[in-house]
Structure 1
């Protein structure tokens, strides 16, 4: 039986601005023409504005931040073009004053060095751009395959976003998720990074377990939520990152338009959708879902 005392007590959703993208980027349809997600040659009616989220977890393991959102450099058009470079035409940042991750932490009396751990779901610009704002955190981690991709794929990543930042990597240490690969951060099942590749090579969703035990029929538990031989009865939230972007992903099964492997992206989304139906699951929180409002959720 897992240590139920080792559960996240509070989860705060932070919206660090928004991103303006073509609707084909988060939601791929078979009728989309090739590269529709770039918005080239498409009318403005296909543009949508979606939140860019980070997550602050508070519990017995300390203060943990997941993802870093936009950098304050994006507040001017010139700064944004210089920062996002070739990716600027595809995704444009909107970042009001006070909305950057370090500004929202400071508003809560938290300095970056007060964080115990920063975890990155992946290294795409809207998730890693704020790294310089929290570089004083004692530990910053991303999956090993994502770190390799981020430092070799110049089309999909902006390596300057982590210049001067001490980023470490983690390897898979547990068999969870659609590919039997995950990282149990503290070894107690309270926080698990789950490999959900496809949109990015090392993309991770996150299982955040609460302190409450679900009284449910185990026959309805979904494969891959628990490590083999380690059934965990606790309720959980699943932070889907970019495996799914919102309601059309989860209800219609629309995978992202931007992928490195479409088959993996579909398999990852299928597992996320199934996990959402697990009776222990309290909800799916997608990073860019406008229906997921900012605020604090008690998880006891």
Structure 2
């Protein structure tokens, strides 16, 4: 079992998007009318899991269109809130190609949720054998603001339903292979269908927490993300990370946008 941490670009956001703030500004996470000193650059990550039963990609990073016309790719509203950067060689397709992997070699692509910085590059890997997202996330992505449907138009995405599992804030998720080696864990709050992944390694679990928090201080200090669709659920999901981090079976917790996380292979 190996997990490749792949940085598939980065994004400039207001720090209040990563760490919820209280003040006079009604929506500080937008970055509107906030000075440049409040902006931060954070990585946009994807993960390649080499599992004995298949190759799994988690999230798709930025599409290469971000190099050409960001405003068109993101839309004017999103473009007013954040900016992306995708250096040459850093798209998910380029990262996989460097590893000698084609999209058709992927047994699964799992989308943690369908916000733009996680689904933007999905067309680069649309030839994967199976692309999965939770049915809850799929439904809200077609109804709520904050999603850009053009990013996944004509991509064959399948959905799955949560069932009972031993882990997570509500003990709901999906046992991908049915052998307790890789759990997709329902961790709602930042979005309704957000999931984390638990990967069983030799010494315990590695948790890919995605956007449950933005860095280690999120769960150690219990700082919610700036955008939540359900604040109570977001707190419950973050509290689960906080508690699970203390357990002996927890090897490591990794958040998608943590600047302290560098590309590496976890063995």
Normalising by structure 2, what TM-score? 0.97
Deviations 1:194-213 (A, max 9, x none): 1111100100011011134x
Look up the match of 2:156: 166
Residue aligned with 1:130, SS: helix
Question: Helix, strand or coil for the counterpart of 1:129?
Answer: helix
Q: Distance in 1 between matches of 2:248 and 2:91?
A: 35
Q: Distance in 2 between matches of 1:192 and 1:268?
A: 15
Question: Which residue of the partner structure matches residue 18 of structure 1?
Answer: 10
Q: How does 1:176-195 map to 2 (within 5 A)?
A: 176-195=167-186
Cross-structure match for 2:263: 294
Q: What TM-score do the two structures reach when normalised by structure 1?
A: 0.86
Partner of residue 157 from structure 1, selected from 142, 147, 161: 147
Q: Which residue of 1 aligns with 2:46?
A: 54
Q: Which runs of structure 2 are paired with 1:116-131 in the superposition (5 Å)?
A: 116-131=107-122
Structure possessing the higher radius of gyration over alpha carbons: 1
CA contact (8 A) 1:27 1:248 kept: no
Q: Choose which of 246, 263, 268 in structure 1 pairs with 2:215.
A: 246
Structure 2, unaligned stretches of length 5 or more? none
1:34-89 Cα distance to aligned partner (Å, 9 max, x none): 2100011110000000000000000211111000000000013xx11001002111
Unaligned residue ranges in structure 1 (runs of 5+): 1-8, 213-234
8 A contact 1:144–1:170 mirrored in 2: yes
Pick the aligned partner of 1:39 from 21, 31, 36. 31
Find the aligned partners of 2:193 and 2:200 in 1 and give their Cα distance: 22
In 1, distance between residues paired with 2:253 and 2:238?
A: 12
Contact 2:21 2:28 in 1 (8 A): no
Residues 174 and 184, structure 1, Cα contact 8 Å, conserved in 2? no
Q: What does residue 239 of structure 2 align with?
A: 270
C-alpha deviations, 1:145-199, integer Å up to 9, x for none? 000011111x210001111100000111223311221111111111111111110
Task: Find the partner of 1:93 among 84, 93, 101.
Answer: 84
Partner Cα distance (1:71, 1:32) in 2:
36
How many correspondences in the alignment?
265
